[in-house]
Amino acid sequence: MASVKELTAIAKKQLMLRDHLFEGAAPWLWDRKINKGFATIPKTMPLVMNIMDDMTKGAPVSSTFLSLWCSTWDNSFVVINKPLDLAHAAGFGGQRGEHTWAARMKKLQELKFIDFKAGKSGPFNHVIIYNPHFVIRHHYELGTPGLTEASYTALIEAAMDIGAKDMLPDTALPSAPFAPSAASS
């Protein structure tokens, strides 16, 4: 695993190479230090999303999960005041859009990626997002259908490459992984 100093050096080298190869492109690029409206996501998110969809054959949940993730303020908590807007952001429009989105929310809760509480805007007003690495490790231990050995190994390899210790077996899962929810009762 690279140290912070090494990562800074790597980032500087990549920036120099980028600016050399794509001269003049900088004004067209997203810079979270300049622009508002960014979200911090794990570099493993594409693998996490693929695993989620594999676990929910025929009813992919990854776009719903990503739209939730992008609605946090880096605190793993989302207040949904306009469910229809989030349904649309997840790719569910039309007359059945909100209904389809609600079904995906329930599936994410069943799989323990999220939990939710009702409020003034409906049953999904308050959402907590659990660490997807921990959730996937939990499902691997359970042998949840759809979570393949190959996908799980790829996620571990990616996590090791970036130094994400929450995917390593010597990092214990929290003792009470998921709080009971009135919504799941």
User: What pLDDT does residue 4 have?
Assistant: 67
Mean pLDDT of the chain: 90
Note if the pTM is more than 0.75.
yes
Whether the CB-CB separation of 174 and 134 falls below 8 Å is answered with: yes
Whether the CB-CB separation of 68 and 77 falls below 8 Å is answered with: no
Band of the pLDDT at 107, cuts 50, 70, 90? very high
C-alpha distances (whole Å) from 158 to each of 1, 47, 170 are 12, 9, 16
What residue segments make up the domains of the chain, in order of their start? 1-33, 45-167
Measured CA to CA, the distance from residue 85 to residue 1 in angstroms comes to 40
